[in-house]
Amino acid sequence: MKGTIRSGHEATRQYASGLSTALRLAEAGVKVSVLEAVEIGFGASGRNVGLVNAGLWMKPDDVKSSLGEPFGERVLELLGNGPAEVWSLISKYSIDCEAERNGTLHCAVGEAGLNEISERVRQWDRQGAPVTLLTADETAARIGTPAYAGSFLNLRAGTIQPLGYARGLARAAISAGAKIFCPSAVTGAERSNGKWTVHTARGSVETDWIVVATDAYTKAPWQEVRREQIQLPYFNIATRPLSDALQKSILPNREGCWDTKKILTSFRLDRKGRLILGSIGALRGTGNKVHRAWATRTLRKLFPQIGEVELEFEWYGMIGTTGNHLPRLHRLASNVVSICGYNGRGISLGTVFGRVLADHILGKICEADLPLPVTTPETPALRALKESYYAAGAQLAHFLDARF
């Protein structure tokens, strides 16, 4: 048996799905080729926030209501334990990716935000998850700012340096026998005599199975995966390393954080003590100036103890979002499968679904026992207009924020 993992197109938010699948198949003795359009971690798999989250954006009750039985409970159990699989791979393969396993904090903005996270805690607690609702004072002590009305502490979660994680998975896959080709963007594929031939500008690969792991930037020959999703730009801006004294007052336990605003704010510390602030938006055109100015104002507002804010690095990528914030599992053709629509939760989700897809290809999991139903891609209405709206709306929100 042979398998091909089609991986990476521009800034795709594919995370670990392709590399995780390749690693699991190679460990099982399958001949695997990973076709990467640019380089490992080039897209948002290396540019994301670095939050290793448990679960999905949707509350557990909503997941069960949307997916029904048995898929709702299956996906909650699988993704609730997703971070544990990430930590396990990091430990097994000694991946150097600044792993911090002290949890994440979903921070409440005002009373509405507190109500939101309180309900999330209640539902996850009912699922048996190790979650805690923290008071405003407890939150301030952990974060170093009194800005929040409380927070949702999830001890299964944490943070990583995502580019280090992606490269570590690639090294592990290569050590297990997988072959990784880059730059090798896929240009086409056809099936003949029960085999697929996948073409690139530099050559072709014959294979039994294909995993399309390109998410929101998928191009030919399966563009329906891209058309199904709405691209949401997300940027991160990093300060210069903070002093030792500041690191003791700001996120001393190194939790990863994000808030309940619609145009959310995320932040974490890296190994060198840089404070990394992120939000929706693209660092291009007028957005570059607007979002940088917003970042400076927000850092001063949240953490006035920093003083003069010095920014050192900036980057952005694209999140693939779906209408109901649920990922999609597709069979695009005979022996061609795709997992996509991570909605900003791709590190642990991509890791665990890589294992699931590998087990499916190996015949260990039949289609009826998969954690998600196999569906046909659907194109949302007004997709291009919505993408422009979200990018422009985030820019407008950041321009007005702290001014009015």
Packing angle of the helix pair 110-126, 60-67 (nearest 10 deg): 60
Q: Give the residue-averaged pLDDT of 102-121.
A: 98
Integer Cα distance of 166 and 150 in angstroms: 33
Give me the CATH number covering residue 176.
3.50.50.60
Could you say which of 155, 185, 217 is where a domain stops? 155
The total number of structural domains that make up the chain: 2
Share of residues in the chain with pLDDT > 90 (%): 78
CB atoms within 10 A of CB 207: 23
Are 236 and 116 in a shared domain?
A: no
pLDDT of 402 higher than 80 = no
Are 199 and 147 in a shared domain?
A: no
Residue 283: give the domain boundaries: 2-103+156-375
Domain annotation covers residue 144: yes
Are 125 and 256 in a shared domain?
A: no
Q: Give the residue-averaged pLDDT of 311-331.
A: 92
Displacement of CA 201 from its chain's centroid (Å): 29
Are 123 and 259 in a shared domain?
A: no
Return phi, psi of residue 331, to 5°.
-105, 105
Domain annotation covers residue 367: yes
pLDDT of 111 higher than 50 = yes
Are 92 and 9 in a shared domain?
A: yes
Residue of 287, 316, 275, 283 lying closest to 398 (CA atoms): 287
**Model pLDDT, residue 403:** 53
**Model pLDDT, residue 14:** 40
Predicted confidence (pLDDT) per residue in 344-395, tens digit: 899 999 999 999 999 999 999 999 999 999 999 988 888 788 888 778 889 9
Are 176 and 294 in a shared domain?
A: yes
pLDDT of 283 higher than 60 = yes
pLDDT of 316 higher than 90 = yes
Integer Cα distance of 155 and 102 in angstroms: 6
pTM above 0.85, yes or no: yes
Domain annotation covers residue 265: yes
Q: Give the residue-averaged pLDDT of 315-320.
A: 90
Domain annotation covers residue 394: no
Domain annotation covers residue 395: no
CB atoms within 10 A of CB 96: 14
Are 266 and 349 in a shared domain?
A: yes
Packing angle of the helix pair 346-361, 17-27 (nearest 10 deg): 40
CA atoms within 13 A on the CB side of 101: 10
**Model pLDDT, residue 7:** 43
Name which residue leads in pLDDT, 386 or 141. Answer: 141
Are 210 and 268 in a shared domain?
A: yes
* Residue-by-residue DSSP string for 9-66: -SS---TTHHHHHHHHHHHTT-EEEEEESS-TT-SHHHHS--EE-SS-SS-HHHHHHH
pLDDT of 335 higher than 50 = yes
**pLDDT confidence bin for 231, thresholds 50/70/90:** confident
Q: Give the residue-averaged pLDDT of 96-108.
A: 98
Are 146 and 16 in a shared domain?
A: no
Domain annotation covers residue 17: yes
**Model pLDDT, residue 83:** 97
Domain annotation covers residue 393: no
* Residue for token pair 């695997």: 32
Integer Cα distance of 175 and 23 in angstroms: 9
Are 133 and 224 in a shared domain?
A: no
Q: Exposed, middle or buried: residue 18 (CB in 10 Å: 0-12, 13-18, 19+)? A: buried
Domain annotation covers residue 382: no
**pLDDT confidence bin for 12, thresholds 50/70/90:** very low
